[in-house]
Amino acid sequence: MTEFNEKQLEILQVAEQLFAEDGFDGTSVRDIAKKANVNIAMISYYFGSKEKMLEALVLNRISDMRLQLESLYHENIPPFAKIDKMVELYITRINKNRCIYQIIHFEFSTKKRELNFESFTEMKQSNLETFKNIIKEGQDSGEFQKDINVALLPPIIMGTYFQFHMNKPLYMKIFDLKTEEEYNNYILTTLTQHIQKTIKALLVYEN
């Protein structure tokens, strides 16, 4: 993979923000160029095209989640603690790269765009295997139930987060979160705990 210079990285950063705000189609290369203080032609000059820039952006941002998850798997801590840490890893990571996840899920999921989506699906499947291993530890120790559909656990974690975030105005109102900081703090504390609790409850629930 090619490395990017400072100017290219700044363009990507601006693009990331604008894409997440206004969508891929809703953002013009002129908007990006203007905000990044570069000439319009630089997008084509550097990345080839607008679409290829998006491709470069995604690949540049999403790359090391697998390693983090693998690392967690090999930690020597009790199953429940590991679940907590895993959920926390998911949330902090998604929350940090909120923009790019939004782009990936809400722009790319439509089948019209054909990028190298396979690598992304592969990553997910790989992560799912590690996920299964982590659950299996708790099952082997007798702490978790046996009949767990592990593949449906990530949607709970990520889905709950996204659904919360997509209704940001509503929840800021309900929970009286006045600033961006308070909102973010709520995600990293209460919402994270809520999701941790949900997953753990499901893992021990007897039908």
Which parts of this chain interact with DNA (CB under 7 A)?
Answer: 5, 7, 27-31, 38-45, 49-51
Q: In terms of CB distance, is 9 or 151 closer to a second copy?
A: 151
Residue 178 in the binding site for a second copy (CB under 8 A): no
Binding partner of 107, given DNA, a second copy, none, CB within 5-8 angstroms per partner class: a second copy
The residue range among 43-51, 58-66, 85-93, 162-170 that interacts with a second copy, by the rule CB under 8 A, is: 162-170
Q: Does 162 bind a second copy (CB under 8 A)?
A: yes
Q: For residue 169, give every residue at least 6 positions away whose Cβ sits within 8 Å of its Cβ, in sequence order, or none.
A: none
Count interface residues toward a second copy (CB under 8 A). Answer: 52
Closest CA to 156 of 87, 84, 73, 207: 87
Of 63 and 190, CB closest to a second copy: 190
Q: Please name the residue that has the structure tokens 């390693």.
A: 67
- Contacts by residues 98-102 (CB-CB < 8 Å, ≥ 24 positions apart): 98/20, 98/165, 99/16, 99/17, 99/19, 99/20, 100/16, 100/20, 100/57, 100/58, 100/61, 100/62, 101/162, 102/20
- DSSP-assigned states of every residue in 95-139: HHTHHHHHHIIIIISSTT--SS-HHHHHHHHHHHHHHHHHHHHHH
Partner touching 50 among DNA, a second copy, none, CB below 5 to 8 Å by kind: DNA
**Residue 63: CB minimum distance to DNA, A:** 23
Touching a second copy, residues 95-124 (CB under 8 A): 102, 105-107, 109-112, 117, 121, 124
Q: Are 93 and 66 in contact (CB under 8 A)?
A: no
Q: Give which of DNA, a second copy, none residue 207 binds (C-beta under 5 to 8 Å, depending on kind).
A: a second copy
User: Which residues of the chain form contacts with a second copy (CB under 8 A)?
Assistant: 20-23, 25-26, 102, 105-107, 109-112, 117, 121, 124-125, 128, 149, 151-152, 154-156, 158-164, 166-171, 173-175, 190-191, 194, 197-198, 200-202, 204-205, 207
